[in-house]
Structure 1
Amino acid sequence: MGAPIPRFLPCGDTAVTVEFGTEIDDGLNALCLVFDAALAEAAIPGVIETLPTYRSVLVQVDPLVIDMPAFETRVHEILAGLATDGRPPRRWIIPVVYGGEFGIDLEDVARSHGLTTEEIIRRHSSRTYRVAMLGFLPGFCYLSGADPSIALPRRTSPRLKTPAGTVSIGGVQALFASVEAPSGWHLLGRTPVRNFMPDRDPVFLVGAGDEVVFRPIPAADWDALDAAAAAGEPVAELVAA
């Protein structure tokens, strides 16, 4: 692929952001993920950890092992040989209880767009989302591919606490949360899926580059699925790999 020329943005003396663009764009994000994988495969001495985002990759380095000019040279070498990853993405079916106590903003979102709650659910659950990155807290899935017809700016008054598993929208983005946390997003529903469990293998179930489809389920199914998820079962269905 023809990779754009990156910008190298120092983050203190032990990290650097390799930035490929300034927009939220699936193409840029795909480049970040492929570059991140190639960087890991290169096993450059002094590179400690990487974190891909929508449009950049944060790289933690040991400056006593590799200096910035040498690191930048290696990055350009990797980019010159970078090839498109042809592997199909994994696709997960994520069960969601919409509305009521599980999605306390669903009615407000519907009212804001002059739609019924059923139509909001239909539009939200009919999309195939792409996991652009994990961020904010462990296992939080930031999703591209949201329906612009139901987009809303984030809340003017963020909540100090929202439950683990919230499924929400904010601006043109969608989110599948992992742990209890503050949020200014609009909560449409909740899933019993635990995307982050530190004692489970794998620790993260759904990862960057995967696809997600939300499947509405009745509130009556919640207790059984939540108990299964708490016991370590995926609950989410993997339908492609």
Structure 2
Amino acid sequence: MRWGRSPRWRPSAQRQRGHTVFGFRSHPRPRLVADRVYLRYPLLSDWRAWAELRDASRAFLTPWEPTWPPDALERNAFRRRLRRQYLEIEQDRGYPFFIFDLADNRLLGGVSLSNVRRGVTQAGTVGYWIGAEHACQGYMTEAVCAIVGFAFSGLKLHRVDAICIPDNRPSRRLLERLGFEEEGRVRGALKINGAWRDHVSYAILRDDPASPVPRPRPVEAAAARQRV
């Protein structure tokens, strides 16, 4: 596979000493930029675009996700979600990003690095979703490539893993194109759309020689974890 320019990141202009988000200390907010998309942390002001995209994509997304609660798309639920996510950033446990079209700033979907484990593990789990109208256009390939590069060069992780339902062929092909290796089946791994489902486990290592994932320069990197 041929790749365009490597993803890169830069801090948001919103980084200010003493500024807090949901009561948590501010961090430099990495902005990951690829050929056609850029990634940044979600903000409360994204709620309406997020809710509209998720609602329009409900039938497309629900077969692959946990059952949506009744208030899933409401503003207060979105606010609670952001509070949890910013706490995870504060604790170096997770890094959520929204995906935007570089040309017109449209919200396309989301990608996250969660369950970050330090110590002797140095690993994280990538997950992602995309709006129905934006699927199968290569946007998610760029986004996952960017966040994996960020995990390796920015957060200095050794391993990134992912799991997906066996019959989710588009998701499996995406991971395989990016150099993730299939590692086996995890029985009853997650309750998806009301039923416990087996998942296929994939992983990629920072030093995998066959990996096509570009390694962006660690410009602002610990960027994600440095306190101000």
Query: Does the alignment reach a TM-score above 0.5?
Result: no
TM-score normalised according to structure 2 size: 0.24
* TM norm structure 1: 0.23
Larger RCO (CA within 8 A; separation ≥ 6): 2
